[in-house]
Amino acid sequence: MSKFRTIWTTEDRYVEVIDQKILPHELITRKLLTYKDAETAIKDMTVRGAPLIGATAAYGIYLAVRELVEKQLDGSFLDAAFSDLRASRPTAVNLFWALDKMRDALDNSEGDFLQTAWDTANQIVEDDVETCRMIGVHGLPFIEEISKRKKGDVVNILTHCNAGMLGCIEWGTITSPIYQAIEKGIKVHVWVDETRPRNQGSNLTCYELTRHNVPHTLIVDNAGGHLMQHGFVDMVIVGTDRTTRNGDVANKIGTYLKALAANDNNIPFYVALPSTTLDMTIENGFDIPIEERNQDEVRYMIGKQANGEIGSVLICPETTQASNYGFDVTPARLVTKIITERGVCNASEEGLLELFPEYK
Ligand SMILES: CSC[C@H]1O[C@H](OP(=O)(O)O)[C@H](O)[C@@H]1O
């Protein structure tokens, strides 16, 4: 797999990210010099995707520590950094997990505060790479099983939003089993939900799959049920921003509808879950904070215009108001299996505790 990363450190020990707001039209990077740069990048979705949000926040704390040391600021500056980054987006639990990990590391640092922040943020990134690779290892058998049943014919996979490498660091969660299947010579085709309103599917997942020569077809969000009814989908696999103790899954708005359609058509519905997205402190999905974003993300479509310029167009009357919920919750009963870096389990407390006994 030709790998590229979504976030990396520079020679002068700053941080650089891909600006995902303008993919697939332009590949532009942004350098993060301060924790406020990291906060803005998360808020405006320059970077997005639960694991990548966590990694960016971790580096944001490193940048805050660097600024505190270089400008000899007091601890309130770092407290503000934690508070601002914590408030950047509410649903993806990776953000809070990463910030807690940075806080623990700094609280227990016995040496160079700045080096501790640097090392911890880098470790979060490297751990995600291996976590996603292992999700692929454990998810691959599901694709292999369908391929065998179809005597080597194409395995048709439907996915929603972007839970690929652009939502993570390298492998991605839902794309890891796909990339590993293709490396084994299994024929795969991916139905890509465009995923309104920000079109992470058409903009990001299609970009990734194109780069990796993965056969795919872009569909409108509302087509998935029809395709499932007519036998064009063999499995559905999605990511998650937060999965609770009982196995309920928060993910991009529209995921729940795909789960309902898959269940109605006896199609397996898998969730690719890195343990950094697990929230065992919350009993069920209805307690997950659901982000509401600016209504203009719905009222306008952003894209490349005929003249080659990237712009946005209003798609409703000027006076029309819009609702913009960013996520929904798929009940555990609609999830066939959860695929984690430690293995596969049922979407239940019992299933999750089998893989993660530390939460007993
Ligand atoms: C492995 S990415 C997980 C998750 O994050 C995305 O949301 P957003 O693009 O708003 O950050 C989407 O829900 C993905 O499934």
> Is ligand 1 within 6 A of the CB of residue 168?
yes
The protein residue whose alpha carbon is closest to atom 5 in ligand 1 is 49
149 C-alpha to ligand 1 centroid (Å): 31
Residue whose token pair is 């690929």? 164
In the chain, what is the greatest distance between 2 CA atoms, to the nearest angstrom? 66
Residue 201 in contact with ligand 1 by CB distance below 6 A? no
- pLDDT at residue number 1: 45
Catalytic residue among 37, 221, 241, 279: 241
pLDDT at 4: 79
* Distance from Cα 106 to the centre of ligand 1, integer Å: 28
Residue 288 has pLDDT above 70, yes or no: yes
pLDDT (tens digit per residue) in 262-287:
999 999 999 999 999 999 999 999 99
Residue with tokens 């890509």: 192
Assess whether the C-beta atom of 252 lies below 6 angstroms from ligand 1.
Answer: yes
Rounded Cα gap, residues 318 and 19, in angstroms? 29
Regarding the beta carbon of 251 and ligand 1, being less than 6 Å apart is answered yes
Q: What whole-number distance in Å separates Cα of residue 97 and Cα of residue 21?
A: 25
pLDDT for 164-196, tens place per residue? 999 999 999 999 999 999 999 999 999 999 999
- Structural domains of the chain in order of their starting residue, each with its CATH number: 7-127 (1.20.120.420), 137-359 (3.40.50.10470)
155 pLDDT more than 60: yes
**Does 161 contact ligand 1 (Cβ within 6 A)?**
yes
Q: Which band of pLDDT confidence, cut at 50, 70 and 90, is reported for residue 133? A: very high
Residue pLDDT, tens place only, 326-344: 999 999 999 999 999 999 9
Mutate to test the pocket of ligand 1, among 6, 19, 161, 298 (most ligand atoms within 8 A of CB): 161
74 is catalytic: no
CA of 163 to the centre of ligand 1 (A): 6
Q: Hey, whose CA ends up nearest to atom 6 of ligand 1?
A: 49
Predicted confidence at residue 2, as pLDDT, reads 46
Q: Which atom of ligand 1 is nearest to the CA of 164?
A: 1
Mean pLDDT over the full length of the chain? 97
∠ CA 188-126-158, nearest 5°, is: 20
Write the pLDDT tens digit of every residue in 47-79. Answer: 999 999 999 999 999 999 999 999 999 999 999
Range 5-22 average pLDDT: 96
Residue 3 has what pLDDT? 59
For 249, the token pair is 């899954």
Side chain identity at residue 86, one-letter code: R
Summarize the confidence of residues 318-325 as an average pLDDT. 98
Q: Determine the distance from the C-alpha atom of residue 200 to the mean position of all C-alpha atoms in its chain, rounded to a whole number.
A: 10
Q: Torsions phi, psi of 328, nearest 5?
A: -140, 175
d(C-alpha 29, C-alpha 349), whole Å? 40
Residues 211-254 have pLDDT tens digits of: 999 999 999 999 999 999 999 999 999 999 999 999 999 999 99
Main-chain phi, psi angles of 281, to 5 degrees: -85, -10
Residue 318 Cα to ligand 1 midpoint, Å, equals: 29
308 is in an annotated binding site: no
Cα–ligand 1 centroid distance for 258 (angstroms)? 15
Quick one: which atom of ligand 1 is closest to the CA of 53?
11
pTM of the predicted protein model: 0.97
Task: Give how far the C-alpha of residue 32 lies from the chain's centroid of Cα atoms, to the nearest Å.
Answer: 20
Q: Is the CB of 243 under 6 A from ligand 1?
A: no
String of b and e for 267-279 (b: at least 16 CB within 10 Å)? Answer: bbbbbbbbbbbbb
Give the H or E element holding residue 127: helix 113-149
Can you tell me the mean pLDDT for 191-217? 97
